[in-house]
A and B are shown apart, each in its own frame.
Chain A
Amino acid sequence: MTALRQEPLAEEWARQRVRRRTSVLARLRSKPVAAFLMCLPLLVLIVGLIIYPFFYSIYLAMLNKRETQVVWLDNFRFLLTMDTFWLVVRTSFLFTFTAVFFKALLGFILALVINTLPTRGQRVWRGVSLVPWVMPLALSTLGWWWIFEPTHSALNWILVELGFAPKSWLADPFWARFSIILVNVWYGTPFFMIMYLAGLKSIPLELFDSASIDGAGPFQRLRFITLPMLKNIIAITMLFSTIVTFANFDIVRVLTRGGPRNETHLFGTFSFRLGIESGDVPLGAAVALVMFPILAVSAFFILRGVRRSVV
């Protein structure tokens, strides 16, 4: 009796297994599931390297210095009382806005110039212009450091040879800020250039031809065709660059280490100074997190502007 009952049951189980396998395969074949599975490695990376560290840094920023108790927003309140923190805020804004402005301006001019070149020459110049951007930033900044080096500056040697007075590029607060902005502009301009160039390529030539026939000059074509057509690319590029520039670390770290007298510290380098060098990880995390609302708000407004213009 038992054996008789087992046989149909076994068959039934086998059928169920096949059905289940078929069902799983069918689900796997469905587009949403396949898409999810393909995205899974990326999601794991994002969760592990961005979302988890982000929430962990929020947790850290709410601990006391010894990390033995939760002090909620005390670290942020404390930062507001620090003169050095406000100096870092001022420097970060100055660095970011000045650098992004010049990167956008020079990138735009460069893109316009390269766009007017014949196709063959364009390729060479495009490649050459991208060199600063594709080099590892820490490495190229080291090269800049040798140019600005306090005692044996190559730039000063040239200045002296030309009859000018040498400058304290990294020792004087004004020139130190100038130097870090200059290096950032040198590094970031190719990114703007390539984005704008891509945008310029997408503008139909007929528009320029029609405008020319209607008597529009180069400036009018720039103002009424090029700029409006590039508006969204300009906005997105500036947003992206603002975020990256605001969070810059390498240039200041290699060139000035935040000196002289903390005058060139940005949020990232000051956070490192407090968290790693001084061992006050919660306060360092708080400094790093200050960037978040600033960037989030600017991202919100810029992206809203882009969305509206698309609609």
Chain B
Amino acid sequence: MKQKSSVDRREFLKTVTVGTAAASVVGFPNVSRAQTKLALGLWDHWVPGENAVLKEIIEAWGKANKVEITIDFITSIGEKLQATAAAESRAGTGHDIFAFVTWDGTKYKDKLEPMNDVAEALIKKYGPYNENATYLNFQDGKWVTLPSPIGSHTYPLETRMDLWKQHAGIDVQDIFPPDVKKRDKKKVDAWDWKMFLEGAKKVHAAGSPAGMSIAENTDSNDWLGPLFASYGSTFVTPKGDITIESDATLEVLEYLKELTKYLPPDIYAWDDGSNNRWLISGRGSAIINPPSAWTVAKRDQPAVAAQVWHHDVPRGPKGRWRGSLPFTWGVWKFSKNKSAAKDLLLHLGQKEQQWKLITASQGYDMPQQNFFLDHPVWVEIEPPKGGQYNYPIRGDERLIVCGWPAKQDLAAQIYTRYPIPHMVSRVTQKGDNPKEAMKWAAKEIATYMRG
């Protein structure tokens, strides 16, 4: 006797118009839950307690739907999560659902089950995904992966408001108050990269420099990519034309030549944790990072944490761009239980579950649908009160991942092979002529285009 595929999904689909019809069209086949097993390879979250909440949600769903659940929390340290994905893609066996780091879904999209049905159902209920999540997950007319809130984060400025106010005369709390309605447009508009440079000079002179890495790590991409975009410099067009050799790029390189004079000299060897340590140590006065540095400071250096204000990045001539590094969920084509896997992902995308997960992550996890941005965690979490209010986008920022707007396969190469930090450090550390560095970057990116 056939059973209904999932109580949750059925109930959910009933709530959206033409939901049931959509389910039959997109083909959620009926499966016998009594014999269904699902294995999940999930990211081992660094926030204590988040894994337990996620596990509880998934296991409760499994119990209700008679699905036997196995969960492996896999660390991303040492790229173990990426190595596991690579191995499973090749072996054609492993977990049914996999949590991919930003670009891995793109790398293995040919081996993944399209997620159109789940994504479209969630969009229908909660509205569109943000621009960056759509760019990463929706490729060639289909959702190759599903945007995941877990582990997804953005890169605001994390500023020591006391030091910047005292030494640079810039009150970031005043510019970006914990209520978007109270923002003064003039002050927000004045917050641009030139103003940041002037502030960086002053805090440097006071012995508390800002610190942003220019090395082979994701943090470097996640502030440099948006900086270049804010001056109108993109590296490759969606059609594949290499456009990195431009006046806009030149302008940013000249800007960075100046800015790096006021950053620590070791930023060229920093890893993703270095800027966190820089801020937590009390020496640093600003970094561009998700609130992980603040979370550790709250535990180890509460006095520092109490002075950290998360807020919008500076604006450039072509807008205000903030880095974003989301996770994605995928279901392997080799999975024998695709229908159950999709049901589970649909369940995880519901408000009740999203709410619990955002709370468990202490606001670190950034939902990819704006519908969820009114979660109270970012208002309530402290100290300081309102310090993370601006961690979700509240103003005129646009989210971007370094490599955009190139076609995703090429953008993945631009992101993971670090030509942008290399180009910058050629100018700012090695002393190369900016035009030569741009030429080098263009040549390097051209080598990523092989089919």
Contact = CB atoms under 8 A, between A and B. Distances in A.
Interface of A: 64-66, 78, 81-84, 150-152, 168-172, 176, 253, 256-262, 272-281, 283
Majority secondary structure, A binding face? loop
A279 B103 contact: yes
Given A257-B271, A260-B269, A261-B430, A279 B416 contact: yes
A278 B422 contact: no
B274 A150 contact: yes
Contacts of B107: 279
A66 B451 contact: yes
Contacts of A276: 79, 82-83, 86
Given A168-B265, A277-B79, A261 B426 contact: yes
Contacts of B443: 83
Those 9 A-B pairs whose CB atoms lie nearest each other, nearest first: A279-B107, A150-B266, A171-B269, A170-B269, A171-B268, A259-B216, A278-B416, A150-B269, A260-B268
Given A277-B82, A278-B413, A279-B86, 4 more contacts: A65-B451, A257-B217, A260-B269, A278-B412
A261 B451 contact: no
B268 A66 contact: no
Given A168-B268, A260-B269, A276-B79, A64 B425 contact: no
A203 B390 CA distance: 75
A259 B266 CA distance: 12
Most buried by A among B216, B274, B447: B216
A84 B451 CA distance: 19
A171 B79 contact: no
Contacts of B103: 279
B277 to A, nearest CB: 7
Contacts of A253: 78
Contacts of B278: 151
Contacts of A82: 447
B90 interface: yes
Given A276-B82, A276-B86, A277-B79, A168 B269 contact: yes
B417 interface: yes
B444 interface: yes
B22 interface: no
Most buried by B among A151, A262, A278: A151
Nearest to B104: A279
A275 B450 contact: no
Interface string B420-451: 00100110011000000000100110010011
Contacts, number: 98
B406 interface: no
B216 to A, nearest CB: 4
Contacts of B283: 151
B413 A262 contact: no
Given A257-B216, A275-B86, A276-B82, A83 B444 contact: yes
Interface in B222-274: 264-271, 274
B215 A259 contact: yes
A151 B381 CA distance: 30
6 contacts: A83-B444, A151-B277, A260-B216, A279-B104, A279-B106, A283-B450
Interface in B265-294: 265-271, 274, 277-278, 281, 283
A256 B274 CA distance: 13
Given A151-B274, A260-B215, A84 B444 contact: yes
A260 B418 CA distance: 11
B110 interface: yes
Contacts of B82: 276-277
A171 B266 CA distance: 6
A211 to B, nearest CB: 52
Interface string B71-97: 000000011001100100010000000
B385 to A, nearest CB: 30
Contacts of A275: 86
A275 B417 CA distance: 11
Interface in B288-339: none
A168 B274 CA distance: 14
Nearest to B213: A150
A240 B79 CA distance: 29
A35 B20 CA distance: 67
Contacts of B79: 272, 276-277
A152 B425 contact: no
A259 B447 contact: no
B429 A152 contact: no
Given A84-B444, A259-B215, A277 B416 contact: yes
Most buried by A among B268, B443, B444: B268
A152 B426 CA distance: 24
Nearest to B443: A83
Nearest to A176: B269
A259 B268 contact: yes
A256 B269 contact: yes
A262 B268 CA distance: 11
Nearest to A278: B416
A262 B444 CA distance: 12
B110 A279 contact: no
A231 B33 CA distance: 70
A151 B215 contact: no
Given A65-B451, A83-B444, A262-B422, A279 B281 contact: no
A258 B265 CA distance: 18
